[in-house]
Amino acid sequence: MTAWLCAGLYGLLLLFVWAALGLAKRADDMDLFDYPNQPGFKEYETAKAAAEAIAPNTPRLRAACLRVIARQPATPDEVAQQLGLSILSIRPRITELSKLKQIEDTGLRRPNNSGRMAKVWRIKETRQ
C-alpha cells in the first residue's frame, strides 16, 4: 500500500512540475480518441503540425505497408526500403496498424538499419 501511495504522490508531483513548466497539455488540446485512426503526436507545436501535414497521406501509406507485409512479414525498415520511403514516414504507420489490430508481431526479430533488433510484423490472423 505504501508503494502505491508513493507512486501516486510522485505522479501528482510530476503533473504539478509539468504544469508549472508548461509541459502539461489541457484535455481540450489533446486528440485522445483519434489515435491511431489519425496520426498522433507527443509534443504540441511542431509534432502536431507534422501529424496534420501527413494525415491526408496516412490511408495510402498504411495500405502500402499492408501490401508489403501481406507479401512477406517484415520489419518497419524493410517495409520502408521496399516502398522506397523514409522510415520516419513508415514506422508510425506500422504502430498505427498495430494499434488498429491489422498487423501483429510474429515473435521474430531481425536487425534494422541501425543494427538493433526490430519486430517482424505480419497481417493479423482473423479468428472465426
pLDDT at 30: 45
The answer to whether residues 78 and 99 belong to one domain is yes
Show the domain range for 38.
31-123
pTM above 0.85, yes or no: no
The answer to whether residues 113 and 66 belong to one domain is yes
Average pLDDT per block of 10 residues along the chain, 128 residues long? 50 51 47 61 73 90 98 98 96 95 97 95 85
The answer to whether residues 71 and 55 belong to one domain is yes
pLDDT at 122: 98
Domains of the chain: total? 2
CATH classification at residue 103: 1.10.10.10
The answer to whether residues 94 and 67 belong to one domain is yes
3-state secondary structure the chain: CHHHHHHHHHHHHHHHHHHHHCCCCCHHHCCCCCCCCCCCCCCCHHHHHHHHHHHHHHHHHHHHHHHHHHHCCECHHHHHHHHCCCHHHHHHHHHHHHHCCCEEEEEEEEECCCCCEEEEEEECCCCC
In a domain, 14, yes or no: yes
